[in-house]
Amino acid sequence: MKTKIVGILICMLFLISGATITASNVDNPPYVPNNPHPEDGAIDIGVKTHLSWLGGDPDPGDKVIYDLYFGNISDPDLMANDLDKPNYYPGVLEHNTSYYWYVVAKDENGTSTTGSEWTFTTNNCTCDPPEKPSGPTRVRNRHRYEYSTKTMNQSQNGWYYNFSWGDGNHSGWKGPYNYTERVRAEHQWEEPGIYQVQAQAKYKHGNRITEEWIITGWSDSLIVTVSTNNPNNDPPNTPDISGQMQGKPGVEYEYTFVATDPDGDDLYYNVCWEGGGSETQTYGPYLSGEVVKISHSWPKQGKYIICAKAVDVYGAEGPEGTLEVTMPYIKNDLKNQFMQRIRNRICDMLGICQGGCNLIEITGILEYDGQLFTIDETELHFGPNWYITSAITAYDYDGDGEKELIIDELLGLVGTEVTVEGHMQSDNWMSVFTINGQVYREPGQPIWASQHQWRWRHRK
C-alpha cells in the first residue's frame, strides 16, 4: 500500500513539473507599442521631428525589433523594418500636413503585436529641434537626475523647452531662455525600465497682432536605463589641454579640452584659469571624447596654470590636467610696446637674438596684409623692407624655377603651408632664419651680410 502511494505521489510530481515546464516555455507576444512622440492627435509639430514610442517584451531576454509604417494617408505603407530601437527619424516632412503611423513589434520567436494608428499635423516651422538631451543614462529609480539641452542652429531669443521623460510625464514648458543658454530639468523614475528622454522647444513669431507660437519637432532620444540599484561608475580620465602658450594680456585665446569616460558618460569640465585655488568655472555637458573649445583672456601679464578636471554626469571626478601659459606684455602699455618694437627691428636687422639664440619652429599658412607676414598670430620678420625689396634671393623658396627678389619669393608662398625656424625677439615677433628647411640668413650677422645678393632695383 505504501509503495502504491509513493508511486502516485511521484507521478503527481512529474505531472506538476511537466505543467510548469510547459508553462515556462509559453512565448508571450511583445507589448503593444504605446506612448508615441509626437503624441496622437498633436498639431503644430515642426517638420524636423524624431518619432519614438515605448515597446519591449514581457518575456525576459526576448529581443524586440520594430516595423514602422508611416505616411500622409491612413493605413500607411512600411517605411522602415527591423529597427532595433523604438525611435526613428523620418527626414524633413511637408508643411501643414497630417501624418499617420503605427508600429509592429516582433520578438525573436516570431510573435508580433501591432499598435494603434497615430496621427499628428506639421506646421510651417523649418527650425531644428533641440539637441539630443544630455544626462545620466544609467540611473536608480526614485532618485532625481538632471538633464539638459539647447537649441541648434538658431539665433532668436525667448525659447521655451519641454522635456518628455518617456514614462508619460513631461517637465512642462520652461523658459524663456536665449538661444545660447542651456536649459536644465530634473526627473525621477518610479519604476525600473528603459525610457527615452526627448525635448521640444517653442518661441513666439511675428508682431503683436500676428504673434503666434512656433513649436519645433521632438529631438533625438536619449535612452535611459532605470534599475533598483545604484549604477556602477568609473571616473573619466585626465583632460588633455592645448592652445596658445604665450600671448598678450587682454587678448582672448582658444583652448581645447578633451577627456574620455570609460562608461561613455557625458562630461562636464571644471576649469580654473589661474592655477590651483583660483575660481573654478564649469562647462558642459559634452560627449565623452568630444573636442571642447573654450576661449579665455588674462587681464595682466604673468604666468598662469590652466587646471581642468572632467566630471561625469554622476559626479565622478577624474584626475587634473594642466597647461602653463605666459602673458608677457601688457596690451595697453603703448610706450613699452613702441620701445620693444624699435629694439626688435634693430636686433632683427643685425641678426641679434635677444635673451640668447633659442630657435623655435612654426608651421602654418603664410599670410600677408600688405605690411606684415604672419603665421597665425606670429609676426615673421625677414629684415627691413628696403632690404627684402632690393635683394635677390639665394634660393628659390616658392619653387617657381626662378630666383627673384626676396619679397616676390615670399609673396609666392602666401596662402601655402610654410615651416619657418627663428628666434622670438618678443611676444609674437620672430626673426626668421630658415624657410621650409632652407637657410634664409644666419643668426648673429647683419641681414646684408647673408648669402643673398643685395642690389637696388634699377641695377642689373
- Domain definitions of the chain by residue range: 29-126, 127-231, 240-327, 334-454
d(CA 38, CA 164): 10
Alpha carbon of residue 350 to chain centroid: 48
373 close to 366: Cβ distance less than 8 angstroms = yes
Please report the pLDDT score of residue 22 as a whole number.
42
pTM over 0.75: no
Higher pLDDT, 427 or 302: 302
d(CA 132, CA 159): 16
Q: How confident is the model at residue 6 (pLDDT cuts 50, 70, 90)?
A: very low
d(CA 284, CA 148): 10
Q: Which residues contact 401 (CB under 8 A, 6 or more apart)?
A: none
d(CA 171, CA 137): 18
Residue range 283-288: mean pLDDT, rounded: 91
Task: Give domain 240-327's CATH superfamily.
Answer: Immunoglobulins (2.60.40.10)
Alpha carbon of residue 356 to chain centroid: 42
Report the chain's C-alpha Rg in angstroms: 34
Task: Give domain 127-231's CATH superfamily.
Answer: Immunoglobulins (2.60.40.10)
Does residue 294 sit in helix, strand or coil?
Answer: strand
Query: Grid coordinates in use for 178?
Result: 536665449
CATH architecture of 29-126: Sandwich (2.60)
Predicted confidence (pLDDT) per residue in 16-33, tens digit = 444 444 444 678 999 999
Q: Is the dihedral angle over the CA atoms 329, 333, 338, 343 positive or is it negative?
A: negative
CATH topology of 127-231 equal to that of 240-327?
A: yes
